[in-house]
Amino acid sequence: MAARKLAPLGPNGGAEDSLAKTNAFFRKKTLVLFAMVVAFFVINGVSGAFVEFDFVSAAVDVPAGIVWMLSEFAPSASSLEYLDSIMPALGSTILASVASSCIAAVFSFILAVLGSRSVGIGGPMALIVRAIASIFRNIPVVAWALVLLFSFKQSEFTGFLALFLTSFGYLTRCFLETIDEMSTGPIEALRATGATYFQIVVQAVIPMSVTSVISWVLYMIETNIRDATLVGILTGTGIGFVFDVYYKSFRYDVAGLTLVTIVIVVIACETLSNYIRRRIM
Amino acid sequence: MTDKGNLLEVRGLTKCYKGDVKALDNVSIDVRRGEFVTIIGASGAGKSTLLRCINRLIEPTTGTVAFDGREMTTLGKHDLRLARQRISMIFQHYNLVYRMTAIENVLHGRLGYKSTLAGALGLYSEDEKALAFKVLDQVGLSDFAYTRTDQLSGGQKQRVGIARALVQEPLLMLCDEPIASLDPKSSRTVMERLRWVADELNIACLVNLHQVDFALEFSDRIIGLAKGKKVFEGTPDEVNEEVVHEVYGDIDIEGLPGDRMVPTIVQADVAGGTAGASSTGVA
């Protein structure tokens, strides 16, 4: 295994030749880049003209738009009085998000264990579980809310159910991946001791997957608080409804305050879940 | 304890995977109580399949396995669970639940004895806990009872694996490459523990090994497998160059028989994993 003597990488004596080659190479690069920039502006101009989008006037309008938005939506001193009506709605939205994520997690985990390729019950179950997860996950939460409105009317429960169903699909998918990535060794070892299926799930599968399950549930709660605002507008509940009401009654300052509270909650939730994740990992 | 009859009688064991591939081809072996038997063979020779057919982690295609006077291959789900109580197993990769402490992992060995619910909830009796601490002490890890197993070294992990096997109060221990992932010093500790298990506790050990030198040193009897067939059976004294050639195929072996210095060349096979019998000509 002695180090082999390396052969020279190229034919010697071609220094001038290779210099010319290098120059040609970089000239070509510059030309290609230039052509790409020109093409970008041409395509942009043509398609912009087609939809009557004028980049220049848009660029001029944007600062004015932002100024208008800031001045109208900035929470005013008088809007603070409305905090009393915002906070309960915010609270119910947070609780609905937490509840929908946690309850979905329970069902998802059971389904994911049964349907996983490594510890599942086998047969067609793996396919069935994946199909269920895929259906619930790929219907957007807004579509669920609109569909469920017919059956359950404008209520907290409709919003909860819409969040629950999407969370359920999403978490099932995540848990399936988590469980299938797990090492199957301990499961085999417990099987060899004579442990039953349920014992194996509780004593090995859950301990091995619990941290990433918690991590996914925290992520789901964050997502659901964001989505709950949109769902609330549709189902007439929670913080989304509050925002909608003030927005439509031209109290933009109060609507703005509502937005600020939502942003604060989402950031707080993200910080908290990052902290928890660091602690458990 | 004085009964030196056959604890395990395997007859004509064959395992076919899809199609005609025979992982095991008509293998018959006997193991007496408290006997230390080593199975040597290249990767893919069927060693792991053989062990797993005994406790039916893998279902054999044909053949019979009589363990402690009971036929294993025809047992129903419930009876299989009872039979597995007395057959324990340790693994190359230890197969511990790393998020749990050593003592919790050891107690997993009792699951086969417990009702589903009590086992799942980890409701072990005082006697079982006392036994768990005793076996943990026997493998020299009593100080690490409450240490999470991912904090332990490889050798310590394997000793937790042995403790989990011992807490089953087994008659037979199946050891699947117990030292293949360990350094030489830890390997020796683990092998000495296993030999002690056979001698002092009268628990038969059936051990898959890659390291011929360890097999020669520790075994009562050695069985050679090649391509699913038993090609050798005898005492360590009977292992010679010819035997090793038959088991491992064409590799250079120096110092055999005589001084028993089998080069570690066969260990290179460990890295080959499941590459199959063809990977033996590593030298």
Nearest by CB: A192 against B84, B97, B113 = B84
Alpha carbon B262 to chain centroid, angstroms = 22
Contacts of A183 in chain B (CB under 8 A): 93, 95
CATH value at residue B41:
3.40.50.300
Nearest to B84 by CA among B96, B98, B68: B68
pLDDT confidence of residue A5: 56
Q: Is residue B38 part of a domain?
A: yes
Neighbours of A248 (CB within 10 A): 9
Chain A residue with the nearest C-alpha to that of B170: A193
Chain B positions contacting chain A at CB under 8 Å are: 55, 57, 80-85, 87-89, 91, 93-100, 108-114, 116-117, 119-122, 161, 164, 168, 174
Domain ranges of chain A: 23-72, 81-280
Buried b (16+ CB within 10 A) or exposed e, B190-214: bbebbbebbeebbbbbbbbbbbbeb
Residue A191 with chain B: CB contacts under 8 Å: 57
pLDDT digits (tens, 9 = 90+) for B66-122: 999 899 999 999 999 999 999 999 999 999 999 999 999 999 999 999 999 999 999
* Nearest chain B residue to A195, by CA: B112
- Structure confidence by residue, pLDDT tens digits, A227-267: 888 888 888 888 888 999 998 998 888 888 998 998 899 89
Q: Identify the domain boundary among B169, B184, B202.
A: B169
Is residue B156 located within the same domain as residue B188? no
Instruction: Name residue B10's beta-bridge partners.
Output: B29, B65
The answer to whether the pTM exceeds 0.80 is no
pLDDT (average), residues A15-42: 88
Name the average pLDDT for chain B. 86
Q: Where are the alpha helices (DSSP H) in chain A?
A: 15-50, 55-73, 83-115, 125-138, 141-152, 156-181, 185-193, 197-200, 206-235, 238-248, 252-280
CB contact under 8 A, B119 and A199: yes
- In this predicted structure, the answer to whether residue B270 has a pLDDT above a threshold of 70 is no
pLDDT at B15 over 70: yes
Report the C-alpha gap between B18 and B160 in whole angstroms. 36
The mean per-residue pLDDT over the stretch A34-47 comes to 90
% chain A with pLDDT above 90: 44
Record: contact B108-A201, CB cut-off 8 A: no
- Residue A21: pLDDT band (50, 70, 90) is confident
CA distance A108 to chain B (A): 20
What pLDDT, on the 0 to 100 scale, is given for residue B261? 44
Confirm if B188 and B207 have CB atoms less than 8 A apart. Answer: no
Domain final position from B169, B184, B201: B169
Q: Residue B14: what pLDDT?
A: 93
- What single string gives the DSSP state of each residue in B205-223? EEEEES-HHHHHHH-SEEE
- List chain A residues with CB under 8 Å of B81: 194, 196
At residue B209, the 3 state secondary structure works out as: strand
The 10s digit of each residue's pLDDT in B39-58 is: 999 888 899 999 999 999 99
Complex prediction ipTM: 0.84
pLDDT at B252: 52
Residues 6+ apart with CB under 8 A from A72: A252, A253, A256
- Strand-strand pairing, B6-16 and B62-67: antiparallel
Tokens linked to B3: 């009964």
Please tell me whether residues B175 and B261 are part of one structural domain: yes
Residue B1 lies in a domain: no
Residues B58, B178, single domain; the answer is yes
User: What gap in Å lies between CA A108 and CA B271, rounded to an integer?
Assistant: 38
Nearest Cβ partner for B116 among A185, A196, A204 = A196
Instruction: For residue A11, give the H/E element and its range.
Output: none
Q: What is the fold, at CATH topology level, of the domain defined by A81-280?
A: MetI-like fold (1.10.3720)
* Tens-place pLDDT, residues B225-251: 998 999 999 999 998 888 888 888 765
Between chains, do B112 and A195 touch, taking CB under 8 Å as contact? yes
Quote the percentage of chain A above a pLDDT of 70.
94
Residue A157 sits at φ, ψ, to 5 deg, of -65, -40
Contact A194/B at CB under 8 A = yes
Contact between chains at B96 and A189 (C-beta distance less than 8 A):
yes
- Shared domain for B61 and B197, answered yes or no, is yes
Q: Distance between CA B219 and CA B96 in Å, rounded? A: 26
Looking at the structure, do residues B116 and B217 belong to the same domain, yes or no?
A: no
Distance between CA atoms of A9 and B247, rounded to whole angstroms?
45
**pLDDT of B258 higher than 50:** no
**Interface membership of A214 toward B (CB under 8 Å):** no
A208 vs A122, more confident: A208
Is the same domain home to B27 and B164? Answer: no
Chain A residue numbers with beta carbons less than 8 Å from the beta carbon of B88 are 192-193
Arithmetic mean of pLDDT, B12-37: 90
Q: Which amino acid is at A270?
A: E
pLDDT at residue A182 above 60?
A: yes
Nearest to B95 by CA among A118, A182, A120, A183: A183
pLDDT at A191: 94
Q: Which residues pair with B70 in a beta bridge?
A: B67
How many angstroms away from the CA of A118 is the closest CA of chain B?
14
Range of the domain at B202: 6-86+171-280
Backbone angles phi, psi at A119, to 5 degrees: -115, 5
